[in-house]
């Protein structure tokens, strides 16, 4: 259905794992990330898509921080499950969330707003007028 990528922004692909149709985790000799086929990009939110880099018909998300965007989106949309080899699934998801909150706070705010979770409001300090 979707051809696995053979080349990536990080070099020639050594290993490729399909997360769902058209979405792949790839590794190269030195790096890797998630690659989303052009025909599948719309499964990602606009906030997610703006973090990807286009190459050879894929939207690419490097493994250090951007890959977490793809994983979070797939988990939220129930298009992918944390693999069985991961024993502490809650900790795995917590790690994804912390990465997003730290490195992509704009994406995180957009995600939380879209889920109906209001971002914390900034309040003015209360002055005691005694």
Q: What pLDDT score was predicted for residue 112?
A: 93
- Residue 130 pLDDT more than 80? no
Q: What pLDDT score was predicted for residue 100?
A: 98
Query: What's the mean per-residue pLDDT of the chain?
Result: 91
State pTM to two decimals: 0.88
Burial of residue 92 (number of CB atoms within 10 Å: 0-12, 13-18, 19+): middle
Q: What pLDDT score was predicted for residue 123?
A: 45
List, in sequence order, every beta strand (DSSP E) within 42-129: 53-55, 58-62
Residues 113-128: pLDDT tens digits?
987 665 555 444 444 5
- Contact by Cβ (8 Å): 21, 39: no
Q: What pLDDT score was predicted for residue 42?
A: 96
Residues 24-43: pLDDT tens digits?
999 999 999 999 999 999 99
- Contact by Cβ (8 Å): 49, 79: no
Nearest Cα to 52, choosing from 7, 102, 5, 9?
Answer: 9
Burial of residue 55 (number of CB atoms within 10 Å: 0-12, 13-18, 19+): middle
């Amino acid at each position: 259905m979707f051809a696995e990528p053979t080349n990536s922004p990080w070099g020639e692909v050594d290993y490729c794992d399909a997360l769902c149709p058209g979405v792949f985790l790839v590794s190269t000799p030195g790096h890797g990330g998630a690659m989303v086929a052009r025909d599948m990009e719309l499964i990602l939110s606009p906030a997610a898509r703006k973090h990807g880099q286009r190459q050879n018909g894929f939207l690419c998300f490097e493994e250090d921080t951007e890959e977490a965007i793809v994983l979070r989106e797939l988990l939220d949309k129930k298009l992918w499950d944390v693999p069985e080899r991961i024993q502490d699934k809650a900790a795995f998801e917590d790690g994804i969330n912390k990465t997003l909150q730290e490195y992509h706070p704009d994406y995180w705010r957009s995600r939380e707003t879209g889920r109906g979770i209001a971002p914390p409001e900034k309040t003015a300090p209360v002055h005691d007028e005694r």
